[in-house]
Structure 1
Amino acid sequence: MEQVNFDVNEENEGVRLDVFLSGKFDNMSRSYIQKIIKEGNVLVNDKKEKPRYITKTNDKINLNIPKPKELEVEAENIDIEIVYEDDDLLVVNKPAGMVVHPAPGNYTGTLVNAILYHCKDNLSSINGVIRPGIVHRIDKDTSGLLMIAKNNNAHNCLSEQLKDHSITRKYHMICYGVVKEDTMTVDAPIARHPVDRLKMAIVEGGKRAVTHFKVLKRFDKYTYVEAELETGRTHQIRVHMLSKRHPLVGDPVYGPKNSKFKLNGQMLHAKTLGFIHPTTNEYMEFNSDIPPHFKRILNILD
């Protein structure tokens, strides 16, 4: 088992134990956290507590994370929007709310389960049984385009393009505040937050991260923005916009806790994806419409 320790401070006291712990990990669901609490793998001040225990300042929490079980990811007949497909790859338009690949406490209903059903055995094996065909990811609550590799040659080719920063990846978002600059570039290194493991942050010594932003439309208290990734770090757009004091609307991690809009996640959509085809060597580019929940917010602001 892996042991992780947390100290509760004034900023994160007064919440349920299961909520506190699930907020510390981006790959464990709250239901999974509840399960390991009930199994006695969590101690608060050296005592077992229930998931509903309310945290207090100076609580010392010890979490023993069980060793992951060997997974056999099952194919599931889940509808997915396929934008393009050939013998080497497919491009899918992932809906907001869908996890890309299985993780502890979240083994079904993912994009991987769906593409396994659609592609059967025709997926690259480079990333193992949990992430067959997955070349890159987007967050659960981010919608938009992803490329899936059907064989290892295609996977290697697309991965090299990611490393070379030659793939076109443009995102649309709605952020808080009025962005004054028509265009701006943020070049700031990103790493895991030194205190809160759920978050990424701009950290000296982190991996270089570069995002190019362009204002599409300004509203009274919000801005509609396009971001083009030069690099692709975890939460890159969200962290870079936060650094400019323009967090994304609906962002449960980096944005305000209360929003006047009823949202289940950040307003972020992977709209444009372009790359060199691994076999034909031709440049291909795909675009997807922003989803209905995104359009609803734009219509309210307009």
Structure 2
Amino acid sequence: MAAEDEEFTAEAGEVLTVEIGPEAAGERVDKALAARLPELSRARLQALMAEGRVSFQGRPLTSGSGKAQAGTYAVEVPPVEPADPQPEAIPLVVLYEDAHLIVVDKPPGMAMHPAPGSETGTMVNALLAHCGASLSGIGGVARPGIVHRIDKETSGVVVMAKTDAAHQGLSALFAAHDIERAYVALTRGAPQPPWGVIEGAIARSTHDRKKMAMVKAGGRHAITHYRTEATFGPPEKPLAARVACRLETGRTHQIRVHLASKGTPCLGDPVYGSGSPAPAVRAAMAEAGLMRQALHAAVLGFRHPVTGETLRFESPLPADMARLVAVLEGL
């Protein structure tokens, strides 16, 4: 399953390995572990300890109040119980719909499916209300109809299946990368050269489990084609840019990781946007009301998995990114 900008959480049934150094020895063990596992709260870690799922060098820990020791800790995250999403009458911008599939222009701030912290108000909740009981079970109870995912704070075009045949056909297209997907990013600075290909395997960061990272060994091969459409600020040293990105593969957080690797992360990216934009750009972001990463899934094209018809959908920039472009043009 392709999953560009997939919402990132600890995997079901996963064992997380954590190294605690001498500098943290003596802290409460739940506090020390929580600082190194930001996806798990101290309360969650305490509950896992009570269940015997946290160990220090092979020895189970039963209390989070003990003092941390330098060494290796293992935290077993048990499989998450499948959610049973409920229909919610949430308005959707439907770009296309037939008996087999539905294409929606997703707003920023909407998660694709229920997950810890986003149990309601998701695309799945909205689809269950829009499509009715026919959607239930397609692709699994927790994620009915979902074929691909974009991050909660990324806006733009997504396609969902309404039948098993469409789900299987769309999944095959995504697996074969036989899908046209184009994104628009607003970046800090401008990538050099202005156009090209970013190629590099992506895997989970060994330093921060909420992040993905480019790696030299292992990981999944990832290719992003990019082209700078406009720059803002002094031509000799742009303060920001509008960059079109075309995915050849669809890895988790691919565009955000690849653009950050060139020193030009998406504006407003809370995970990969290390460093601060120029003051004029920060002021423009505030004026435009941008509260998220400036990334938009602008184009989605594919062959209909049932009818064979060629379909292509475009979505204009959402209001926050459009306002930001307008303000940046005045720099």
- Counterpart-to-counterpart distance in 2, 1:177 and 1:298: 14
Q: Does 1:215 align with 2:228?
A: yes
- Counterpart-to-counterpart distance in 1, 2:118 and 2:36: 16
- Counterpart-to-counterpart distance in 1, 2:21 and 2:321: 36
Secondary structure at 1:181's aligned position in 2? coil
- Counterpart-to-counterpart distance in 1, 2:138 and 2:191: 41
> Shift of the alpha carbon at 1:38?
6.0
Aligned in 2, Cα 1:5/1:109: closer, same or farther, shift over 3 Å?
Answer: same
Q: 1:136-175 counterparts in 2 under 5 A?
A: 136-175=148-187
User: Residues 169 and 306 of structure 2 are in contact (CA less than 8 Å); yes or no, is this contact kept in structure 1?
Assistant: no
Q: Deviations over 1:18-69 (max 9, x none)?
A: 974663x4xxxx7xx354256464889968559xxxxx99697764535423
TM-score (norm 2): 0.76
CA RMSD of aligned residues (A): 3.2
**Greater RCO, CA 8 A, separation 6+:** 2
> Shift of the alpha carbon at 1:280?
2.3
Moved more, 191-200 or 259-268: 259-268
Secondary structure at 1:122's aligned position in 2? helix
Letter in 2 for 1:219: F
User: Residues 155 and 296 of structure 2 are in contact (CA less than 8 Å); yes or no, is this contact kept in structure 1?
Assistant: yes
TM-score (norm 1): 0.83
Please say which structure displays the higher CA radius of gyration: 2
User: Residues 49 and 64 of structure 2 are in contact (CA less than 8 Å); yes or no, is this contact kept in structure 1?
Assistant: no
Alignment match, 1:242: 260
- Counterpart-to-counterpart distance in 2, 1:106 and 1:63: 23
Q: Deviations over 1:50-106 (max 9, x none)?
A: 9xxxxx996977645354234221111112211111111000111111111112343
Structure 1 gap segments, 5+ residues each = 51-55
- Counterpart-to-counterpart distance in 1, 2:243 and 2:210: 25
Aligned residues: 290
- Counterpart-to-counterpart distance in 2, 1:10 and 1:97: 40
Alignment match, 2:105: 93
Q: Does 1:188 align with 2:200?
A: yes
Letter in 2 for 1:270: A
- Counterpart-to-counterpart distance in 1, 2:36 and 2:83: 23
Letter in 2 for 1:108: T
Q: Does 1:36 align with 2:44?
A: yes
Secondary structure at 1:112's aligned position in 2? helix
- Counterpart-to-counterpart distance in 2, 1:9 and 1:246: 33
Aligned in 2, Cα 1:195/1:180: closer, same or farther, shift over 3 Å?
Answer: closer
Aligned in 2, Cα 1:124/1:150: closer, same or farther, shift over 3 Å?
Answer: farther
Secondary structure at 2:134's aligned position in 1? coil
Secondary structure at 1:293's aligned position in 2? helix
From 106, 110, 124, the counterpart of 1:112: 124
Moved more, 76-85 or 115-124: 115-124
Alignment match, 1:254: 272
Alignment match, 1:265: 292
- Counterpart-to-counterpart distance in 1, 2:177 and 2:308: 16
> Shift of the alpha carbon at 1:205?
2.7
Q: Deviations over 1:170-222 (max 9, x none)?
A: 00001111224332111211122233221111222322111110111011211
Q: Does 1:179 align with 2:202?
A: no
Aligned in 2, Cα 1:279/1:187: closer, same or farther, shift over 3 Å?
Answer: same
Aligned in 2, Cα 1:205/1:153: closer, same or farther, shift over 3 Å?
Answer: same
- Counterpart-to-counterpart distance in 2, 1:68 and 1:37: 15
